[in-house]
Amino acid sequence: MSAFQQFKEAVHLPAGLGAELPYVRLFVINDERDAGADADVEFEDSGNDGESVAVTISGWRRDDRGQVIRGETERFVFGLPTGNLQLVQDVDALEALAGLLAAVSGMRPMPEAADPA
C-alpha cells in the first residue's frame, strides 16, 4: 500500500480528489474546544513535473484571552501516480509517514467536503 493510500484511509478522504475535487480541508477539535488542528489537502498539476497532492498541517490552541495561537506548519507532498512521499533532505520515508499519520490522527473532512455517496 502506498503512503498516499495509507493517508487516505487514515482520514477518510473523499473519493475523487483530483481535477474534479482539487481541495479538501480536514480538521480535529478537542473535547474542550480549545485546541485542534487542520490540514489542507490540495491536488496540484505541475504540467511537466506531473501531478501531486500536497498536505499542509497546522495545529492551534486558544490562549487565556480566547485568542487563537497557531503552531508551526508542516507540509507533505505525495507524488502521483505512485503515491510516494516526496522527501526533502535526508528524512527517512517511514519516519516522515509516521509523523504525518500521527499529525492527522482523528482528523476528518469538513462537512461540506464529505462524500455524498
| DSSP-assigned letter for residue 85 | B
Element (H, E) at 3: helix 3-11
Domain assignment present for 81: yes
Domain, as residue range, for 106: 3-112
Domain assignment present for 24: yes
Segment 5-23 shows an average pLDDT of 89
Q: Residue 4 pLDDT more than 70?
A: yes
Entry pTM? 0.84
Domain assignment present for 7: yes
Write the DSSP assignment of 30-81 as a string of letters.
Answer: -TTSSEEEEEEEEEEE-GGG-EEEEEEEEEEEE-TTS-EEEEEEEEEEEETT
Q: How many domains does the chain have?
A: 1
What pLDDT digit, counting tens, does each position of 60-79 carry? 999 999 999 999 899 999 99
Which residue in the block uniquely carries the three cell numbers 500536497? 54
Domain assignment present for 117: no
